[in-house]
Amino acid sequence: MRAPASVAALVSLASLLGGAAQAADTASIVASQCIACHGEGGNSVVPMFPRLAGQHAEYLDKQLKDFLAGKRKNDVMAPALAQIKEGDVAGLAAYYAAQKPTPIKPDNDKLLAAGKAMYDDGNTQSGVPACVGCHQAEGAGNERYPRLAAQFPSYAAAQIKAFKSGARNNDRAKVMRAVAERMTDDEIAAVSEYLASLP
Ligand code: HEC
Ligand code: HEC
């Protein structure tokens, strides 16, 4: 009777240790592989590197898996991706989702009103749907649609243009490409400034 009990004890000890090892690994991967670009707690201070703090875990998980599978490509991220495995992704996604995003300032306040109009109403003439319909009030997002609040305007604009050209094509059912392909450069610039102004 003692053998099964000690096996059970060993199993639960192993799973406890496994959990701790996972957490330690996440912290050490973040510190050694991610922080240099994405900043302390994912609050990048360099516009080229997207802010990850407070982004939804499911979205982060999908992006990292898409990068690892080559469905989303970026030469700058590639060396860091070579250092992680699929098994690390859930821990990294949970880590960044739990960080508190700090606010940033838009680059051009003059575009905010036009950007807000695009975000809330879209463009009925050209058929751009309102961003708020998917990305939620104040760019908060949800597990399906990424958080956009407090993102760098240059990063957001670059991603919308990448969806528009098809260079980024990892959105399921072309959902974001169908939006981006109807947008003008001026609309992309304005809405990206507005996103940076959101808390
Ligand atoms: C050398 C700089 C660099 C390092 C190191 C780096 N990244 Fe990135 N990361 C980038 C760039 C640049 C992008 C934007 C890619 C693009 O334009 O598609 C990015 C994009 C991302 C995205 C997608 C964000 C979004 O909003 O869609 C995630 C998630 C991410 N990185 C996580 C990580 C993690 C986790 C690590 C550490 C394992 C890491 N990155 C290391 C530069 C870096
Ligand atoms: C029908 C739903 C839908 C609508 C409407 C929509 N989006 Fe998106 N958007 C998505 C999805 C889904 C993704 C993530 C795709 C993926 O899995 O990579 C996305 C991704 C993005 C990203 C990239 C985020 C990042 O961190 O890399 C930006 C920027 C963006 N959307 C801006 C907008 C703007 C601006 C509008 C309004 C003009 C808009 N979206 C309207 C569904 C939508």
pLDDT of residue 155: 98
60 lines ligand 1 (CB under 6 A): yes
| Weakest mean pLDDT among 7-11, 25-29, 73-77, 124-128 | 7-11
SS3 label, residue 46: coil
Kindly identify the ligand whose nearest atom is closest to the C-alpha of 118: 2
129 lines ligand 2 (CB under 6 A): yes
**pLDDT higher than threshold 90 for residue 19:** no
Query: Would you say 170 and 72 are in contact if contact means Cβ atoms under 8 Å apart?
Result: yes
Closest CA to ligand 1's atom 42:
77
Q: Please give the share of the chain, as a percent, with pLDDT higher than 70.
A: 88
List Cα–Cα distances, 113 to 4, 109, 155, 178, in angstroms: 67, 8, 20, 24
171 CA to middle of ligand 2, Å?
Answer: 8
Domain 2-97: give its CATH code.
1.10.760.10
pLDDT level of residue 14 (50, 70, 90 thresholds):
very low
SS3 label, residue 166: coil
Closest CA to ligand 2's atom 40:
131
34 lines ligand 1 (CB under 6 A): yes
| Closest listed residue to residue 191, CA positions, set 82, 91, 112, 96 | 112
**Cα 91 to Cα 96: distance, rounded to the nearest angstrom:** 9
Closest CA to ligand 1's atom 36:
34
150 lines ligand 1 (CB under 6 A): no
81 CA to middle of ligand 2, Å?
Answer: 23
Q: pLDDT, tens digit, for every residue of 23-37?
A: 669 999 999 999 999
Average pLDDT, the chain: 92
Q: pLDDT, tens digit, for every residue of 129-155?
A: 999 999 999 999 999 999 999 999 999
Closest ligand 2 atom number to CA of residue 144: 12
Six-digit token pair at 149?
């609040």
Residue range(s) in the chain whose domain bears CATH number 1.10.760.10? 2-97, 109-197
| Closest listed residue to residue 150, CA positions, set 184, 187, 183, 193 | 193
Q: How many of the other CB atoms lie within 10 Å of CB of 144?
A: 14
159 lines ligand 2 (CB under 6 A): yes
Q: Which superfamily does 109-197 belong to?
A: Cytochrome c-like domain (1.10.760.10)
Mean pLDDT of 35-49: 97
